[in-house]
Structure 1
Amino acid sequence: MKTKQGHFLQLTTFDIKVIGLVLMVIDHFHQNFAPFGAPAWLDWFGRPVATLFFFTAVVGFAHTHSKKTYMLRLYISMVVMAILMNLTQQIIGFEQVQLINNIFRDLFIGTIFMAAIDQFEKVKGGHAGKHISLGVLLFLLPFLLSIIMMPLLASSGSISLAQKLIMQALLAINPAIMLAENGAMVLLIPIMYIFRNVRWAQLLSIVVVAAIYGFFGSTQWMMIFAIIPIALYNGTKGRGMKYFFYIFYPAHLIFLYALAAWLY
């Protein structure tokens, strides 16, 4: 596709995030208004969203001035998001819809994997044992936390109010991969990070994962359409608005949930 100036259409990181936001709102509209009969096909618009945000997280982590600050910002957002979703459901009480959304958890888990890859890549610089050990520990961390959470979740059926609050707090602060909104699909983040300088390999990895979902009959195969904006990415950041997504994401979910509850 060409612009009026004759140049092929190119997208910045900001443009890809905006595309993801638009598709996400449509998907979440379906999530909250399904009790009203919102058509199931609206859900299809959300299938490429996680992949788009995974890609922008890879770009952001690779180019940030401070990876520790980047990870801390995502972790705080993950915890705040979990608390907000829980409080929203407790206060409004719209039982027809469950708010399990927390893309920040997926992205933070992704940064843990990317930090592990960074450690493996530092092996050539010396201290191989240290970097390999730390890399393996970081990569296994989301899985180990999942194992720890299993007995706690299994015993959540008959617990007191105090225990329930502790459980909710543990869930909020825990970057376990079993708690990730998109599950094992989060592993696409470290794959794309490994190939962060090889665009065709990133696109191929998305196609392969989409094909796996398609093989098992899941509509998540539609994530394959994320390769279009990613293929058009021109390697630039674009407009700023760093914190817009961090605010818009929980805000629009709370608004849609409250609106649906009020109308219901």
Structure 2
Amino acid sequence: MDNVTIGKFKGFTTFDLKIIGIVLMFIDHIHQMFVPMGVPNWLDWFGRPVATLFFFVSVIGFSHTRSKEKYMLRLYLGMVLMTLGSFFLQKIVGYEEVQLMNNIFRDLLVGTLMMYGIDKISEGRASKKIGKILFGIAIILFPIVSSGILLSLMSNPSTIMVAVWGANFIPALLFAENSVMVLLIPLMYLAKNQRWLQCLMIALVAVLFFFQGSTQWMMIFAVIPIMLFNGEKGRGMKNFFYVFYPLHIWILYLISAYMFTH
């Protein structure tokens, strides 16, 4: 990692946090894709802090990006291409033992929309423009309201397919991979200048999962690299994750399918 030197540790950069998340995610997805081959369940533990790490990194990225609109557009395109790519890959391969439900782009987009809404409310308050405040509130509520609409459509047999396909293109909170846990993104954004408060939020959510008996409580280990974050960007890898994320999932899926059928 670029900021770790022998004998002297200078903390983690944004680049380092991304690499930690990618490595842990890769191990987790090995578990997901090779469950039919009997891989041990403890491999899944490595992935529990991953979403939290990426949520934190998205707060940092959104806070410093030059164009927040372009940032959201990249996530939206990533979400749609990931969804369609996984759908057609499963149709072509026909390997039903593993379902490709992964799409962290949706989680990050929902969280980013809410951060964007928070910004608009702040701008409206500063300029005393009620229109901007209302626009910001609408943006924040959109992923929540769209979730309710899609769930309502899914309860009706005549509109269920419309809702299923609509969910592929609409950033809805309850259809995100991590569901309501995505709310950590706007909450951490509100506390972006108070690292201790961000980590406290993570710890409280982890405690809730612990009492539910879910291994997701292990997300609390994300606090360690987050506390060691030094505020520096590190090496640039702007588009690497957008390519690596879907590609490694699809490759692991194809390897799993081949191993299972041969």
User: Which bracket does the TM-score occupy, shorter chain normalised?
Assistant: over 0.9
Residue of structure 1 equivalent to 2:213: 217
Q: Relative to structure 1, is the Cα distance of residues 12 and 152 closer, same or farther in structure 2, using a 3 angstrom cutoff?
A: same
Q: Distance in 1 between matches of 2:186 and 2:250?
A: 30
Question: CA 1:171 to 1:45, structure 2 compared with 1: closer, same or farther past 3 Å?
Answer: same
Aligned to 1:177: 173
Partner of 2:182: 186
SS at 2:233's partner residue? coil
- Alpha-carbon displacement from aligned partner over 1:98-131 (angstroms, at most 9, x marks no partner): 1100000000000111011112222432234213
Structure 1 distance, partners of 2:129, 2:207, is 37
Q: Deviations over 1:52-105 (max 9, x none)?
A: 000110000000001011011111111111111111111111101111000000
Cα RMSD for the two superposed structures? 1.8
Q: Gaps spanning 5+ residues in structure 2: where?
A: none
Structure 2 residue aligned with 1:112: 113
SS at match of 2:193: coil
Tell me the number of residue pairs that the alignment of Structure 1 and Structure 2 aligns. 258
SS across alignment from 2:34 = helix
Please say if 1:94 is aligned against 2:118: no
**CA offset at residue 167 of structure 1?**
5.1
Measured after TM superposition, the shift of residue 5 of structure 1 is 5.9
Which residue among 220, 233, 240 is the counterpart of 2:236?
240
Change (3 A) 1:35 1:192: same
Corresponding residue for residue 204 of structure 1:
200
Q: C-alpha offsets along residues 114-155 of structure 1, whole Å, 9 cap, x if unaligned? A: 011112222432234213211211111001111111133234
The 5 Å alignment of 1:48-59 reads 48-59=49-60
User: Partners of 1:147 and 1:35 in 2: how far apart?
Assistant: 34
| Counterpart position of 1:20 | 21
Q: Unmatched 5+ residue regions in structure 1?
A: none
Tell me the equivalent position of 1:132. 133
In the alignment, the residues of structure 1 paired with residue 4 and residue 98 of structure 2 have an alpha-carbon distance, to the nearest angstrom, of 42
- CA–CA distance in structure 2, aligned partners of residues 167 and 145 of structure 1: 10
Q: Supply the AA of the counterpart residue of 1:13.
A: T
Q: What is the DSSP-based 3-state SS (H/G/I as helix, E as strand, rest coil) of the residue aligned with 1:122? A: helix
In the alignment, the residues of structure 2 paired with residue 43 and residue 153 of structure 1 have an alpha-carbon distance, to the nearest angstrom, of 30
Contact 2:4 / 2:12 at 8 angstroms: preserved in 1? no
Equivalent pair of 2:14/2:234 in contact (CA under 8 Å)? yes
4+ aligned runs moved over 4 Å, structure 1: 2-6
What is the CA-CA distance between 1:224 and the residue it aligns to?
0.2
- Contact in 1 for aligned 2:28/2:44 (Cα 8 Å): yes
1:167 and 1:89, CA in 2 relative to 1: closer, same or farther beyond 3 A? farther
Aligned to 2:66: 65
TM-score in terms of structure 1 length: 0.92
Q: 2:163 and 2:197 mapped to 1: Cα distance? A: 40
Which amino acid in structure 1 is aligned with residue 87 of structure 2?
N
In the alignment, residue 63 of structure 1 is paired with which amino acid? Answer: H
Residues of 2 paired with 1:3 and 1:89: CA distance? 41
